[in-house]
Structure 1
Amino acid sequence: MQPAHQGAPGLAHGGLLATALDETLGSLNWLLRTIAVTGRLETDFVRPVPVGTTLYLEAEVTAVAGRKIYSRATGRVGGPDGPVAVRAQALFIEVKVDHFVHHGRQEEIRAAMDDPDQIRRARAFEVNP
């Protein structure tokens, strides 16, 4: 983490830690071959994370019920067996690509749809690739 990412002097900003957890948890949906958005993210900040520290993140899906995907993650300082610094539980909701077409910025949607390269067009709509 860079100094620009600090909250209190020398400590990582909690919002940045929550973002890292959200991205980590969201990547599980890619493994499930599902497009999903964050419905709820509950974060517990257990101990301060010094700026410049590597945070080891581990995540797992705990349940799937219809369109709901439940998951949790842990962030550890100093190594995969280090002390827990942050934990999160999340609920993701499965959506179709139309969700992004409907709610995204139209100029970017048009640019993606007009791209003749089929692979780049498809990648424009990937979530947490």
Structure 2
Amino acid sequence: MTTYQPQNIIIAEDIRMEVNNKITLVGVAPSNVVISKSKNSKHAIHSLAIYCEILNGDEISSAHISITAPNEEILVEGNIPIPEGDKSHMVLAGRFVNMKFKESGLYKISIAIEDNVISKDIEILIREEK
């Protein structure tokens, strides 16, 4: 029986670990992300940071994250390190640097915790530079 409680997934441009276990999120994206690409490029390059809080996570031993394009292609995926110590209020976070976005559309961010998946869709809008 799942007892942990995932909170919202927050999307930003950067995430930084600060002193005293503080986390700074830079460029939080509430609804969509607008990315520029050069006229002759096949794709836009952008970094995304993912932040998710979990309550009552004492039984969590594994987590996995993926970002899927509108055409169902998995752009990036990987395991998320599980923090040691008290997991009553834990943070799962990571940053994907220089991702290549080929098209505008709805991208899905999925975090699999044990056998359960939480996800968030985010609209990526690619604008061609003039």
The TM-score normalised by the length of structure 1 is 0.29
Bigger helix fraction:
1
- Greater radius of gyration (CA): 1
Give the number of the structure with larger relative contact order, counting CA–CA contacts within 8 Å between residues 6 or more apart: 2
Bigger strand fraction:
2
The TM-score normalised by the length of structure 2 is 0.29
